[in-house]
Copies of this chain bind each other. A is one copy, B any other.
Amino acid sequence: MEIKVSAADTRAQIVEAADRLFYERGFEATTFGDIASATGLSRGNFYYHFRTKDEILDAVIALRLVNTSAMLASWERASPRPADRIRSFLEILIVNRTKIMGHGCPVGTLCTELSKLDHSAAMASTGLFTLFRDWLKLQFVALGRADEADALAMHALMRSQGVATLATAFKDEAFIRREVADLKAWLGAQAPKSS
């Protein structure tokens, strides 16, 4: 059975390059020329796989939804305890610190850019946040905080976003580590009240 370099492979190659470039430079600032250079494909070829640049954006968001879901699932497999799973979430600020100091959070910056552009895909990009929000909520429910689970999920998400934004502005790794430690302390204080 021979290896088949099909249209699907080329399409995936385009989407993966666009995923990275939309993150690093922003959606609008990324040109077809940028994607062509990154993939080694010609500009014209993109239109065999997508009708417009917006369709590439849709595909990038769909890819991120899949990748994010897989990441959340891997955190669940890695840790049976909800507090450890939430710590996996908090750790990405440190794991991805270099990229974050350069380009912010991929989710937050995309949502903000699309909101400013009044882009039709703005709601779809918010779905990436919803993925994290719902998953965190489940962990807080498992922690015994069912009543406040959504507010706690939003709070954790909010602080991760704030850290990412200031880390991008100040390029301060020590700040990231300090705030992640603070978040872990906060998480530790969220254990069930009576147990």
Contacts and interface: CB of A to CB of B under 8 A. Distances in A.
A94 to B, nearest CB: 15
Contacts of A103: 115-116
Given A169-B108, A170-B126, A178 B151 contact: yes
A26 B113 contact: yes
A154 B169 CA distance: 12
Contacts of A134: none
A23 to B, nearest CB: 8
What is the total number of copies of this protein in its complex? 2
Q: Is the interface of A mostly helix, strand, loop or mixed?
A: helix
Interface residues of A, number: 38
A167 to B, nearest CB: 9
A109 interface: yes
A129 interface: yes
Interface of A: 24-26, 28-29, 102-104, 108-109, 111-113, 115-117, 125-126, 129, 151, 154-155, 157-163, 165-166, 168-170, 175, 178-179, 182
25 contacts: A24-B116, A26-B28, A26-B113, A28-B29, A29-B116, A104-B112, A104-B115, A104-B116, A111-B165, A126-B169, A126-B170, A129-B166, A129-B169, A154-B166, A155-B179, A157-B162, A158-B159, A158-B162, A158-B165, A158-B166, A158-B179, A159-B159, A161-B162, A162-B162, A162-B163
